[in-house]
């Protein structure tokens, strides 16, 4: 059933790691905590089983933009979904409420603030809710990097829906945060599913920020025509960097909380809809963006926590294709973050923030594999000796000869400076600088003055930071003065050896052959670019983001397979039934025309002859029932039961129950006896007359839970039909 749903709605023929286990937890009604990296397919873990279960799945989503994007994507796949938030008009909310009461919605997205309101809780109690999914669940925990008090109130779900499964999903949670999630939400012996944190398609690079603009340009030049995000730590940096890049013929847009709401929204939409490739933003940008084809993320400043960095850099390459993540850091940012945390209120949150900052600093200044550093922080290990996807493992950094001697010279100078100065000053002394401060302090007379005169001062500064990252030194106080640690004294005695790195003199970059070669293998790049243009045009006409039409992964597979038939197009990864119906003919025609024009071979990978292909006419609801519904209507007219129709059409019974409800209204059916046992009809009708037609839950309770919603709904629909035609009096509650 799950694989059938994946193929039908999403065009996938298999599961990613832990997806099937997570989906089974939902289907079996067991609580679960699911931790999968960004791009690991978390959303499918609750979306797919929702299409297998009877009733409504409720999804807690923290940001309005994220709700809209996910609902748009679901609807584009043929899945009835909706959201409720403050941007909607009263009539829009009423329409959603009517659809929910009528059982026409399978997934409902709602914010935590809205969900914990008494009115919403009572409203949901009257619906046939199947499960609750809590996205961005790390917001529950005080130990997390993004604690939100309103998430703590979600334990109301356990109190009000004690029999339903609660499922928490996040991309970033340490063991302590996971434990806090379980406790705070009141989860009962949950399935704990923690995926591998490594994102092998991401190429991590770290540089100390020097000529910041030039460093950013280097990255942009490698990604011309591709989507990317540049994160800055301040609004001023956003405005300045965006303006400077635009002045150098790059097309960028700014995004931060200080901008007018309309301008911020327009800029975000321009980026999502691919009218602009580059967004320069504060960290407020991205959490609500479900854009899969971001090819690079630049941090023009160090985030305050390694969890933030993992999440923000993880917004690239969500389609599984290669992407580049570049971190530009400076020592002043470390000081600023430390001071800001120190000014916050004491407690678990501050302690956790200091620990996260220390981990972030270690990542930035460290000299070990970046992938390994990240997964180690989250309690996992990287089995491979070399990730092949970071500056350390790609050979962009060389091990410094005589690291022990250089480390001892640096620490000796710090000792002779009475451990009262910072990194920049220490580098000047070791370089033999004639700066006035050095001369005034008499440090040109130190035995360590000019000891590293042959090395660039920038390299000396980098080595100092590396020694901090390896815990031979620590920084203290407002001015970040350097202090020698216990481990540093061991280094001075020659008992331990640091690992110091410098930029490779000649690049030995091996570029991640497996990832990059595989993702482009057999792809006609010209056709891929042409398909991107077609996708952009279709998305503009539909007023949706381009990736909702097709992802880059799907376009690459099209440009690799170059299908000319419906069967061939349906074999493309990411082409489900609805997208086959919506776009198949036009994209096939485009592929055929391109291949003829450029003499390119077509149908390079024949479709699986055993694959089941179903062409469904997904028309808009207001245009009338779709082809599947009409087929069900014919069977209902023959007196077939819901189960019989479900078996004949290979559909979920919940889907067919929805068809039956539509059929009763469409044909004006007044007698429910073909689908409900005759002895139950009077009991159900009596309960309906007592409580009215608006809600099924009071009717269900009146019948002591002995009659299922699937049997109540046809009777209620038939009563509504009789009322419409004046055969039955207008019902009033309690009449």
Decide if pLDDT at 296 tops 50.
yes
Q: What element of type H or E holds 392?
A: none
Fold entry, domain 2-194:
Rossmann fold (3.40.50)
Q: Residue 27 — pLDDT band, cuts 50, 70, 90?
A: very high
Pick the CATH number of 522-597 from 1.10.150.80, 1.10.600.10, 3.90.380.10, 3.40.50.300: 1.10.150.80
> How is the chain split into domains, by residue range?
2-194, 202-393, 398-503, 522-597, 621-724
The rounded mean pLDDT for the chain is 85
Q: Which residues contact 459 (CB under 8 A, 6 or more apart)?
A: 502
Pick the CATH number of 398-503 from 3.40.50.720, 1.10.10.10, 3.20.20.80, 3.40.50.150: 1.10.10.10
Least confident of 214-218, 348-352, 391-395, 672-676: 348-352
Q: Which residue would you say has higher pLDDT here, 700 or 436?
A: 436
CA end-to-end span of the chain? 44
Residue 40: its pLDDT value, please? Answer: 73
- What's the pTM value of the predicted model, to 2 decimals? 0.65
Q: Report the alpha-carbon distance of residue 313 to residue 231 in Å, rounded.
A: 9
User: Beta strand 227-231 with 278-281: parallel, antiparallel or unpaired?
Assistant: parallel
Decide if pLDDT at 484 tops 80.
yes
Decide if pLDDT at 14 tops 60.
yes
Decide if pLDDT at 517 tops 50.
no
Which DSSP state fits 390?
Answer: B
Same fold, 398-503 and 522-597: no
Q: Yes or no: say if 562 and 600 are a contact pair by the CB < 8 Å rule.
A: yes
Q: What percent of the chain has pLDDT over 70?
A: 90
If you average pLDDT over each of 7-21, 178-192, 464-478, which comes out highest?
178-192
Fold entry, domain 202-393:
Rossmann fold (3.40.50)
Query: How big is the CA angle at 491 (ends 489 and 497), to the nearest 5 degrees?
Result: 160
Q: Which residue would you say has higher pLDDT here, 717 or 606?
A: 717
Residue 366's alpha-carbon distances to 2, 326, 467, in angstroms, are 43, 15, 8
Edge-first strand listing for the sheet containing 252-255: 202-208, 323-329, 294-299, 227-231, 278-281, 252-255
Q: Report the alpha-carbon distance of residue 398 to residue 508 in Å, rounded.
A: 10
CA 274 to chain CA mean position, Å? 19
């Amino acid at each position: 059933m799950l694989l059938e749903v994946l193929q039908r709605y999403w065009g996938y023929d298999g599961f990613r790691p832990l997806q099937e286990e997570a989906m089974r937890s939902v289907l079996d009604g067991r609580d679960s905590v699911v931790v999968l990296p960004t791009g690991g397919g978390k959303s499918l873990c609750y979306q797919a089983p929702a299409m297998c279960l009877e009733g409504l799945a409720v999804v807690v989503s923290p940001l309005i933009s994220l709700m809209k994007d996910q609902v748009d994507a679901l609807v584009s796949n043929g899945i009835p979904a909706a959201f409720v938030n403050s941007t909607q008009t009263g009539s829009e909310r009423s329409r959603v409420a009517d659809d929910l009461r009528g059982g026409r919605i399978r997934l409902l997205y709602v914010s935590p603030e809205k969900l914990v309101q008494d009115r919403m809780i009572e409203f949901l109690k009257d619906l046939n809710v199947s499960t609750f999914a809590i996205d961005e669940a790390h917001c529950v925990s005080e130990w997390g990097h993004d604690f939100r008090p309103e998430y703590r109130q979600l334990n109301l779900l356990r109190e009000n829906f004690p029999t339903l499964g609660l499922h928490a999903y996040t991309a970033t949670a340490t063991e302590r945060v996971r434990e806090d999630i379980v406790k705070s939400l009141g989860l009962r012996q949950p399935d704990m599913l923690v995926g591998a944190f490594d994102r092998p398609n991401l190429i991590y690079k770290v540089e100390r920020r020097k000529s910041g603009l030039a460093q950013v340009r280097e990255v942009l030049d490698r990604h011309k025509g591709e989507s990317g995000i540049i994160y800055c730590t301040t609004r001023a940096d956003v405005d300045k960097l965006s303006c400077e890049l635009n002045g150098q013929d790059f097309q960028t847009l700014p995004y931060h909380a200080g901008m007018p709401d309309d301008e911020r929204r327009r800029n975000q939409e321009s980026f999502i809809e691919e009218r602009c490739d580059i967004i320069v933003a504060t960290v407020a940008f991205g959490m609500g963006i479900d854009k899969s084809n971001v090819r690079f993320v630049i941090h023009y400043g160090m985030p305050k926590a390694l969890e933030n960095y993992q999440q923000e850099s993880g917004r690239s390459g969500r389609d599984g294709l290669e992407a580049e993540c570049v971190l530009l850091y400076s020592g002043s940012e470390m000081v600023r973050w430390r001071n800001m945390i120190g000014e916050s209120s004491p407690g678990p949150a501050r302690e956790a923030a200091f620990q996260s900052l220390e981990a972030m600093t270690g990542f930035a200044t460290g000299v070990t594999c970046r992938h390994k550093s990240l997964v180690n922080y989250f309690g996992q290990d990287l089995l491979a000796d070399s990730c092949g996807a970071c500056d350390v493992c790609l050979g962009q950094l060389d091990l410094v000869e005589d690291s022990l001697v250089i480390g001892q010279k640096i620490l000796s100078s710090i000792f002779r400076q009475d451990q009262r100065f910072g990194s920049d000053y220490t580098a000047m002394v070791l370089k033999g600088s004639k700066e006035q401060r050095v001369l005034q302090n008499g440090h040109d007379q130190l035995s360590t003055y000019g000891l590293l005169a042959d090395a660039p001062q920038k390299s000396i500064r980098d080595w100092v930071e590396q020694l901090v990252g390896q815990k031979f030194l620590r920084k203290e106080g407002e001015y970040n003065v350097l202090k020698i640690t216990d481990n540093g004294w061991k280094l001075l005695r020659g008992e331990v050896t640091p690992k110091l790195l410098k930029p490779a003199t000649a690049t030995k970059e091996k570029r991640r052959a497996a990832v990059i070669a595989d993702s482009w293998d057999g792809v006609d790049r010209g056709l891929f670019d042409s398909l991107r243009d077609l996708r952009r045009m279709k998305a503009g006409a539909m007023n949706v983001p381009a990736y909702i039409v097709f992802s880059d992964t799907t376009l690459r597979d099209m440009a690799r397979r170059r299908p000319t038939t419906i069967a061939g197009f349906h074999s493309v990864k990411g082409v489900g039934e609805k997208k086959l119906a919506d776009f198949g003919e036009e994209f096939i025609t485009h592929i055929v025309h391109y291949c003829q024009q450029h003499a390119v071979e077509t149908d390079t990978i024949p479709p699986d002859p055993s694959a089941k292909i179903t062409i469904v006419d997904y028309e808009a609801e207001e245009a009338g029932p779709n082809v599947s519904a009409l087929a069900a209507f014919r069977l209902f007219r023959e007196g077939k039961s819901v189960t019989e129709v479900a078996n004949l059409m290979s559909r979920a019974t919940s889907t067919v129950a929805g068809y039956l409800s539509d059929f009763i209204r469409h044909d004006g059916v007044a007698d429910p006896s073909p689908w409900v046992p005759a002895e139950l009809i009077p009991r159900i009708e009596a309960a309906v007359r007592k409580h009215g037609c608006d809600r099924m839950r009071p009717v269900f309770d009146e019948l002591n839970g002995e009659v299922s919603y699937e049997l109540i709904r046809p009777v209620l629909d038939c009563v509504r039909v009789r009322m419409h035609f004046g055969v039955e009096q207008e019902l009033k509650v309690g009449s």
